[in-house]
């Protein structure tokens, strides 16, 4: 079974400073990894996904993530935080299941706070 | 809006009552998932449908829970004899056929409070 670990439950940054949200994965084979964001009272929205085509993945709203197999990491970064980035972020791995298809395994989430 | 729609958005019920939630997926998506999210945790997988067939159920889904997708379109999740521990956000997601990295689209969820 695959899993992800989000290393920080809360991260606070000042507006305009870089964001780093950390995620480590455990997988017995090449994983499919995602980052989703959840704003209050809104649904989960896909930020980006790793498809093995490139190790540096660019997503929406200026976010990107780098897949590092040697470190089993898939950290999410953004060069400059904006107030609207304040939300809960989930690292997700797609796991094979008994039905022959795939289901998402979520990390416990990182709440990002952006200070003015 | 052509996204995943869930109803109701909020439900408050007394312990022991039955509740039913509805999910309308994106129309061309044949895969439908239910997840449960409790406070401070990430969503946990409950069950999966491919068209009308329920292909997988998590051990989290006790016999008080039942889900259906009768015509391969909308789905319902029913909880019988609700308990306070059932209080959570119930999320529905759908996706099109594809490999392991296929994106799932999520609804806004139904927040259940059992009092």
Chain A CA closest to residue B104: A46
Residues in chain B: 115
Cβ–Cβ gap A103/B56 under 8 Å: yes
pLDDT digits (tens, 9 = 90+) for A10-66: 999 999 999 999 999 998 777 889 999 999 878 899 999 998 778 999 999 999 999
CA-CA distance, A82 to A109, in Å (whole number)?
Answer: 19
Residues in chain A: 116
A25-29, A88-92, B70-74, B110-114: range with lowest mean pLDDT: A25-29
pLDDT digits (tens, 9 = 90+) for B26-63: 998 999 999 999 988 999 999 999 999 998 888 888 89
Q: What angle do CA B67, B18, B87 make, to 5 degrees?
A: 85
Of B99, B104, B107, Cβ closest to residue A104: B104
Q: Which residues pair with B12 in a beta bridge?
A: B113
Of A36, A46, A101, Cβ closest to residue B31: A101
Using alpha carbons, select from A74, A68, A71, A65 the residue that is nearest to residue A93.
A74
Chain B CA closest to residue A90: B42
Are A24 and A7 spatial neighbours (Cβ–Cβ below 8 Å)?
yes
Count contacts between A and B (CB, < 8 Å): 70
């Amino acid at each position: 079974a695959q899993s992800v670990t989000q290393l920080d439950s809360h991260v606070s940054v000042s507006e305009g400073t870089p964001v780093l949200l950390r995620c480590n994965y455990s997988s017995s084979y090449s994983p499919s990894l995602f980052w989703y964001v959840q704003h209050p009272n809104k649904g989960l929205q896909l930020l980006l996904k790793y498809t093995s085509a490139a190790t540096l993945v660019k997503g929406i709203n200026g976010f990107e993530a780098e897949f590092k197999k040697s470190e089993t990491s898939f950290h999410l970064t953004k060069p400059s935080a904006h107030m609207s980035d304040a939300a809960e972020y989930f690292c997700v791995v797609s796991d094979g299941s008994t039905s022959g298809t795939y289901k998402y395994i979520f990390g416990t989430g990182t709440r990002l706070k952006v200070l003015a | 809006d052509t996204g995943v729609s869930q109803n109701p958005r909020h439900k408050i019920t007394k312990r022991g009552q039955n509740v039913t939630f509805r999910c309308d997926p994106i129309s061309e998506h044949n895969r439908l998932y239910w997840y449960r999210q409790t406070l401070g945790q990430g969503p946990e997988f409950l069950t999966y449908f491919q068209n009308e067939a329920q292909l997988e159920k998590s051990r989290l889904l006790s016999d008080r829970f039942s889900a259906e997708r009768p015509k391969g379109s909308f789905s319902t999740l029913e909880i019988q004899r609700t308990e306070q521990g059932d209080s959570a956000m119930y999320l529905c997601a759908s996706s099109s056929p594809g490999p392991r990295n296929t994106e799932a689209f999520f609804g806004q969820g139904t927040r259940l409070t059992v009092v």
